Amino acid sequence: MPDLGKYALTVLSAYGVTLALVLALVAYVLIRAGRVKRALAEVEERATRHG
Amino acid sequence: MSIWEYANPKKFMQTSGALLPWAVGLSVLMLTVGLVWGFFFTPDDYKQGSTVKIIYIHVPAALMAINAWGMMLVTSLIWLIRRHHVSVLAAKAAAPIGMTMTLVALFTGAIWGQPMWGAWWAWDPRLTSFLILFLFYLGYLALWSAIENPDAAADLTSVLCIVGSVFAFLSRYAVLFWNQGLHQGASLSMDRAEHVADVFAYPLWVSIAGFVLLFVTLVLIGTRTEIRARRMQALLAREKLD
């Protein structure tokens, strides 16, 4: 860990906020992708069954 | 071969499916190298001390906030002119990413500004235009959710995107024509006198490449999701008719 001196809290909080926001964004994109993929598979299967 | 081939959802799904693993791997690699290099292996600035390390997240996020809107402008114009669904769905997929990048730039800017300027916020031209850009992102996403007809939503959000572009480009160039603000000039400039020192610039470029690749990766995943959602809507509508 580098010595951040008197600005340690400033630097670490900037990185912390960024990490939290980017991880939340990635989670949102991936969760929505999985949910839509599963729902489409269900609808396609139903459509195939009913011709 | 023409670029318009990718307007075909099937072709887009095939190509993006093949590209995605590369995009994921490269974005993780570039982000890790850029941020680790910048955070652990660069010196403190003689004026700003260790707060200079915020540059490796603040500048790439701010660049992506503006460029995401630029990409949305291009794809929205393609929708309005050529009516390719994939292009407007790519714009829709880019919006939450651009909004998050704007939020990252605003938050890290405030955290950086407090010890350097003595203020979390100032009604400076660049800061204000960034806040307005964030509000445009919110409005763009709200408009997509508010309109049920997908083509009408695509038309109206595309028009909103064109209007919002004024603020996206204003936030990019505000520092060049309003110099009374608190915000410094461009960090990455062709002018050597204004440009940050190489020791900070090299890891910054790698970090920017990482943010660009992260954006591309998330837009590809998001566009694939929107294409699937659109197909699901069409199948459900057909089910109702049967």
Tens digit of pLDDT per residue, chain B (242 long)? 677 877 889 999 999 999 999 999 999 999 999 999 999 999 999 888 999 999 999 999 999 999 999 999 999 999 999 999 999 999 999 999 999 999 999 999 999 999 998 999 988 888 888 999 999 999 999 999 999 999 999 999 999 999 989 878 877 776 666 666 667 666 666 566 567 888 999 999 999 999 999 999 999 999 999 999 999 999 998 888 87
Of the candidates B96, B107, B108, which has its C-beta nearest A25's C-beta? B96
Those residues whose C-beta lies under 8 Å from the C-beta of residue B194, and which sit 6 or more positions away, are B185, B186
| Contact status of A51 with chain B (Cβ, < 8 Å) | no
Check CB contact under 8 Å for A43 and B100: no
Mutation target among A3, A6, A11 for the B interface, most CBs of B within 10 A: A11
pTM, 2 dp: 0.92
CB contact residues (below 8 A), chain A span 3-32, against chain B: 3-8, 10-11, 13-15, 17-18, 21-22, 24-26, 28-30, 32
* Per-residue exposure over B105-135, b if at least 16 CB sit within 10 Å of its own CB, e if not: bbbbbbbbbeebeeeeebebbbbbbbbebbe
Question: Are residues A46 and B107, on separate chains, in Cβ contact within 8 Å?
Answer: no
